[in-house]
Structure 1
């Protein structure tokens, strides 16, 4: 599902116009981005938790040249879904 499809479905379900729905989604994404920049975890009930994690410094080996390189530490965004969503995804694969 791309952004256009998501906005259309969300506007259909809420009864708002597509423009109002797009503005609402942009506001939510901006608020999430601000929280992530502050290093704050964001928990959404019945969905999951987004958090900022620090990946430690590590050594990587280029497989073609066998050259070793140092990868600096970095921050990455992580997501932990609630158990209900994990179970729904697992049952769809069976």
Structure 2
């Protein structure tokens, strides 16, 4: 499902116009992004938790040249699904 399909489905289910559903979706995503930028975790009930984790700086080796180099620290966005979501996905795959 892409963004356009998601907004169409949301507007259909809620009875909103596509424009209103777009506004709601954009506002939700903006709030999530703002909290993640501030270092906060974002938990959505029955879905999961988004969090930003810091990867420390490390030394890596180029396998071709055997040259060592420093990989700088970076931030990674991680998602941990809720147990309810995990169970729903497991039950769907066992039916196949």
**TM-score in terms of structure 1 length:** 0.89
Alignment-derived partner of residue 59 in structure 1: 59
Instruction: Report the Cα distance in structure 1 between the residues aligned to 2:42 and 2:59, rounded to whole angstroms.
Output: 31
Q: Secondary structure at the match of 2:60?
A: strand
Let me know the Cα RMSD of the aligned residues.
1.4
Per-residue CA distance 1:15-60 (angstroms, 9 max, x = gap): 1011110011000111111101100011111111111111111222
Q: Which runs of 5+ in 2 are unaligned?
A: none
Aligned length: 94
Distance 1:9 1:53 in 2: 32
Q: 1:8-47 to 2 correspondence within 5 Å?
A: 8-47=8-47
* Distance in 1 separating the partners of 2:40 and 2:13: 30
Q: Does 1:90 align with 2:94?
A: no
Whole-Å separation in 2 of the counterparts to 1:42 and 1:88: 21
2:5 and 2:57 map into 1 onto residues whose CA distance is 39
The normalised TM-score by structure 2 is 0.87
The 2-side partners of 1:26 and 1:56 are apart by 32
Q: Distance in 1 between matches of 2:15 and 2:23?
A: 14
